[in-house]
Amino acid sequence: MVEVAFYGDDFTGSTDALAQFTRLGFRGVLLVTMPAWDELQALARQYDVIGVAGIARSLPPDEQEAEIRPILQALRNLGPRFVQYKVCSTADSSPTVGSIGRALEVGRSIFGPAVVPILIAQPDLGRYTVFSHHFAAEAGTTHRLDRQPTMSSHPATPMHESDLRVHLANQTNLQIGALHLPSYPDLPTHDTHSTYDALVLDALTDADLQSIARTILTPPTTPAFAIGSGGLSRALALALTDPPSTHDRAGMERLGHADLVDRERRDADVVLATPTGETSNYTEASPALPCDRPDLNAAASVLAPPQLTTTPPANQVLVVSGSQSPRTAEQIAHAVAAGWRSLPLTYPPAAVSDGSPAVATEAVRALNAGAPGVVVHTGEATGQATGELLGAFSKDLAAVVRQVVHTTQVRRVVVAGGDTSGRILRELGLTGLEPFPTTPSDLSHGLALCTAIAADPQLNGLHFLLKGGQIGDPNLFDSLRHI
C-alpha cells in the first residue's frame, strides 16, 4: 500500500527522489502522465511510493498552480502518510518561475494549516543548509548558493540570496521560520503550534537527516505535506522504516534484487508488475473529485509495463541535451574524446522531407556507422529559452529520440537538462518509469537509471537516465555503455 506520494517539479529530480526510496527497499513507480483515478488506486495497492514527474519548475505561478493543484489533490486522496513536493537541491525558483512559495500556498490549501517542513539540503549531492543559509558544491569546492558559479548565473532562476528564509519570503506572504542544527539534539516531534507556516530545516550530514526523520517527520495527522529535495525523500524513507544501509541485502530483497549486492548475477531478470484492475475498497479522504482536470484523468488509460527478461543491449547510447551547465559541457567533451559524435541542434532546425530534424538522420547515420554514442545538444541556444522556444527545442529533441530508437539498436537514452527533460518525455508519450536495479558504484548520487513504460513498443522497456545539469561524473555518458 502506498506510503509516500510525491510530485517532482522537474523530471530529473523526480527520478532522484524515486531512487532515494528504492535504495532503501521501497517499491516505487514514477508517472509521466496522470492515469485515471481507478488506475491510480490500483497502483497505490501495488507500490510503496508513487511519484508524478512534472514541469512546474519552468512555469509561471498561475500555470504552475494549474499543473500541481489537481495532482496534489489526487495524491492526497490516495491516503499516503506523506506527500512531498519535490524541488531541486539548489532551490531553483523565483517569484515568477517555479515558485516554491506558490507550491507552499497550494499545499497548505489542500493539506491544511499544519506547519510545512522545507528541507532543501541533500548531503549526498554536496548540498547543505546551515543556519538557513544554503551551500552547493561545484568542481570540488563548496560555495554559498549565491556565489556558486552555476546557480549564481542560472539562465532561468539565478540565485542572489543564500538565506532560504529570505529567498522563499520573496515568493509568498506566508511566514517562513527555521530550525537550526544546534537545536537538533532537543528537537520536538512535529510542531503543529508554531507561529510560522513553514520551517526551513538545516542539514549538513546524513545523521542530520536521521534526526529529522525521528522527530519532525512524525506528523500527528496524515497525509502530511512537506517540501524538499532528494534529501527530504531520504529522510522520509528513514522515517518510515528502521533503515537498512543503502543497497544492503535486506532492503534490496524487498525489491527482489539482493543479487545485485553481491554481483552474483550481472543480468538480473526484470519483470515489472501490471495494475491488477481489482475493485477498489478505498474511501476518499474528501468529497472533492480525486483529480479536477479531465485531461489528466484521461491522459493514460493503460499502464502497461515493459516485458523484459534480460538487460537490453547497451553498447550504444544516445544523449539529447538542453542543459547549459558547465558540467554537462564537460561530459559532452569527455564523450567526444571517447569517440562519440557531437551534433548541435540549431534553431530553427534544418528538416528533412518528413519534417523531422535533419540532425536525427545524422545521428542514425553515425550510430549505424559504429559510433559508440551520439550527443545531440542545443549548445548555448537554450540559455534564455523559455515558453514557446523551450517547447520547440524539446519537441525536436524528442523527435531525435523517436527516430533513433525506431531505426537503430540503441536501447539506452540520456536526457540532460531539468527544464527540457520533462517536455521531451511528455512529447514521447511515456506513461511512467520504473527504477532499473543498479549498485551504488554504477552511478553518481542524484542519478537513477529507469525503464520506460509506454504504449509505443519501441519505447516500452527503453532505458532512460534523466540528468540534471550539475549532476554526474565527467565520464558519465560513456560509462552507461558498460552498466
76 residue type, one letter: R
Lowest mean pLDDT among 94-103, 108-117, 242-251, 308-317: 242-251
Pull the grid cell for residue 201: 530545516
**What's residue 300's pLDDT?**
39
> Could you tell me whether strands 373-377 and 224-228 are parallel, antiparallel, or unpaired per DSSP bridges?
unpaired
Q: Per-residue pLDDT tens for 296-333?
A: 443 334 454 444 434 445 589 999 998 888 899 999 99
Q: Which residues, at least 6 apart from 387, have a Cβ–Cβ distance to it below 8 Å?
A: none
Domains of the chain with bracketed CATH: 4-262 (3.40.50.10840), 317-482 (3.40.980.20)
Q: With CA atoms as reference, report the closest residue to 101 among 171, 158, 27.
A: 171
CA–CA separation, 73 vs 280, rounded Å? 18
Three-state DSSP state, 58: helix
Q: Which residues, at least 6 apart from 78, have a Cβ–Cβ distance to it below 8 Å?
A: 2, 5, 40, 41, 44, 50, 223, 282
* Residue 13: pLDDT over 60: yes
Q: Per-residue pLDDT tens for 147-203?
A: 998 888 877 788 999 999 999 999 999 999 999 999 988 776 555 457 899 999 999
Looking at the chain, the number of H-run helices and the number of E-run strands are 16, 18
CA–CA separation, 478 vs 18, rounded Å? 24
pTM: 0.82
304 residue type, one letter: A
Q: With CA atoms as reference, report the closest residue to 331 among 442, 415, 437.
A: 415
